[in-house]
Structure formats: C-alpha cells, structure tokens
Structure 1
Amino acid sequence: MMKSPKNYLKMTTDSTVSEAAASLINSDLKEIGEATKKFANHVIQLGVSGGFVTTVLQWFAFCAAVYLLILDRTNWRTNMLTSLLVPYIFLTFPNWLFGILHGDVGKWITLVGVILRLFFPNHFPEYLYLPGCLLLLIVISPSFVAGYVRAGWIGVIICLGIGCYLLQEHIRASGGFRNAFTKSNGLSNTIGIVLLFVFPVWALITLI
C-alpha cells in the first residue's frame, strides 16, 4: 500500500532575504518621508504666496470686528469704538463678498435702506444705522479705495492703527492692563480687540 507524499511548508531562514526585505521597507519609508516633506513645503508656499493664510486671518479679523460691533449694542456702549469699527470692517471685508455688495446687489439694498430711513423712519431700526453706513460706504467707494487702499499697505496701516487705538482706550476704560485681561465683563472685549491685530500684523509682514 502506497502512502501519499506529505507536503511540508519550507521556512525561509536565509539572512540575505531578510536583509533585502528590510532594505525595501527602509527605502519605502524614506520615499514616504521625502514626499511628506515636499507636501508640507508646497502647503507652506501656497499659504504664503497664494494668500491662503492671509485670507483666513482676514476672516478672523472681520468676524472679530463684527463681534465687537454687535457687543457694542449689548454691554459695551462706546460711540468712539463703534465709529472706528466701521472703517475696519470695510478694510477687512472678504474680497468675494465685497465684490458682490459693491455691485448692483449692494446698490439695491442701499436704495431700500435710504428710502426707509427718509420716508419711513419708524420702520428703520436704530441698530441698522451703522450697518447701513457700512453698506453705503462699500457701494459708493471709488475704485482707488475699494482696490488699492484695501489691498495695499495703506489699508493695513489703518487697520493696525485702529487696533492699537481701541486697545489702549479699552485698557484705560478698564482701569489698567491687568483689569482688561482679568475682569470677566471686559475679557471678551479684550479678546475681540486682540484678534483685530492678527490680520494687519500678518499682512504687514508679507508686504515687507
């Protein structure tokens, strides 16, 4: 009676095979590391030269200014602060949204607002006065202001000056630097004002 041949799994113990496999793995890891480094460099270059970081910081500054403008209607009533926030928001308005409001859309909205203000003042809320002024400023601004000033160093310097002035006025109103950063009722205002600096400081660095 013939017995069927048995199959045995052959174990590879050759050291050269293990070294070759390790070499391939190390080569693959090296290529992955180089690709990751190139990707990071490209992201950084895109953020600096492509304006991605500038756009993000511009949105932060814009939202902070709008937040302070809304806060002014609740527990921080300072006419001087409100009037300074209007040009700051104008200078940091996101470009694509500014382009929409600078066209016919903004003109129609402004026309309706002016008509309500002139002929139906009782139906025009007081809290819409400053946003209406901002929209009117966006609509009537000439190309030199809407383009060159907003995108150039002049607008950056103006934003930086507004931020510095508001910060020192807030510190003075709070009774000192320590109170401005420790009192709960003024801490939110301080954070909002500090965020006003992120865009002009970065934009000034990129322009230099």
Structure 2
Amino acid sequence: MILQHALGLMTHPDDEWESIEKEHAPPTTVITAYTCILAAIAPLCAYFSTTQIGWRVGDGALIKLSSASAVELCLLTYFAMLIGVFALGWMIDWMAETYGGKHENNAASGIALAAYSSTPIFLAGLALLYPAPWFNLLVFVAAALYSCFLMLDGIPIVMHIEKDRAVFFGGAILAVALVLLVSTRVGSVLIWSVGFAPEFIGG
C-alpha cells in the first residue's frame, strides 16, 4: 500500500526512495492515495484542539475558535497544502533538466519527490492536538528540517541527478518552497480581509 512509504521514509529513507522510484506511481495516485490522506491530519487535529481544548498565550485567558470559523480555516489550510505540494512538484520537474535530471510530461517524479518529502510535515500535524504555540513551533521546525533532509536524499534517486548537483538543485527547490510559503501567508491575509478571519471565543 502506498501509505507504507510514510513509515519507510521515517525509518530507512534510502531504501524507501529506491522503492518509490521503482514503483513510479502516476501523480493522481500519489496525490489521492497519499497526499490527500496525510494532509488531512493537521486540519483534523487543529479543528479538534482549537474548538474543544483551546490554548493560552502566557497567563492569558483560554482561547478557542468557533466551530464555523475552525471549519473554514481548516478547509483552506487543507487545500493550500494540496495545491502547494502539486505546484512544488511541477516546479521540481520543470527545473530538473537544468540540473541534468529527467523531465516528464506528467511531472510524476517531481510530484512524488514533493509529496513524499513532505511526509514529516504531514505527520507533525498530530502535534496540533496539543495547541501550545511553542510546542507546535518546535515540532514543525524539526519536521521541516527532516523534510529538507529527505528531499536532498531523494533527489539523486528519484530525479536521477548526480549527487554534486543535487545540493544545488535542492537549494533551488527550497527557494521555490519558500516563495510558495510566503504566497500562502499573503493569501491568508487577503482571505481573512474578505470575511474568513478567525472568530475567537472564550474558553
């Protein structure tokens, strides 16, 4: 089953990348059978914790989100994650030829690299069950660092790029990922300004 790759990437990434390359699943399978499922972890956990548990900032009062507001924000977050993985995958494929890698019409390898490298970030969504900002920050920073490692580790195997070029290619990919992240943040502000701002309620 394709979801088994999640455990493999967390325990023995080199072998798992080899398996992913041999499998060479089409983008639709990677998105629907892997990304759509794992990307749902964070929104579901965030919905439960922000509406049922709540959080505090310092010694302040307990804060929660209204159910309607939480649903809106979680859905927006979910679709932003899916679009981000898909867009990053296409950009990886588009840039691959520049670094001596393979280019495919359906961007299968690029999307696979983006999706599977994001596994630690998807799984880090479980940390949102404990809605403490400092704890969530630490977990997601650690997950992002491991995702960077996975991507650098997987580039030579999945994209067929020499290891000396893989570092530079990885830097280019991370630059694109940062641009996508900033675009998402800007998009969040714009969406909040047209009526989707969080609705906070007391605990």
- Does the pair score TM above 0.5? no
**Higher Rg:** 1
TM-score of Structure 1 vs Structure 2, range by shorter chain: under 0.3
Higher relative contact order (CA 8 A, sep 6+): 2
